[in-house]
Amino acid sequence: MTAVLALPERYRRQLRTTNGVERLNEEVRRQERVIRIFPNRESALRLLGALLVEVDEK
């Protein structure tokens, strides 16, 4: 808790909630439902990486 309070205000506002993490988890679950079965671990990691890049660009 004290580590977060030592940060500038604009970062504290983002870190005090988990909304960003929850939204990202929802997006991963949504894409997972579309694909259903991943042929291997690498394909799942590629999807996750692509989603993270997309979120970062927004």
pLDDT tens for each residue of 10-30: 777 767 667 777 888 888 888
pLDDT of amino acid 19: 76
Asked whether the beta carbons of 20 and 8 are under 8 A apart, the reply is no
Q: Is the CB of residue 47 less than 8 Å from the CB of residue 35?
A: yes
Q: What pLDDT score does 1 carry?
A: 59
Mean pLDDT within 1-17:
74
30-48 per-position pLDDT tens digit: 888 888 788 888 988 888 8
Residue 16: its pLDDT value, please? 67
Give the tokens for residue 18: 């988990």
**What is the distance between the alpha carbons of residues 8 and 22, in angstroms, rounded to a whole number?**
23
In angstroms, the CA 8 to CA 44 distance is: 36
The pTM score is 0.54
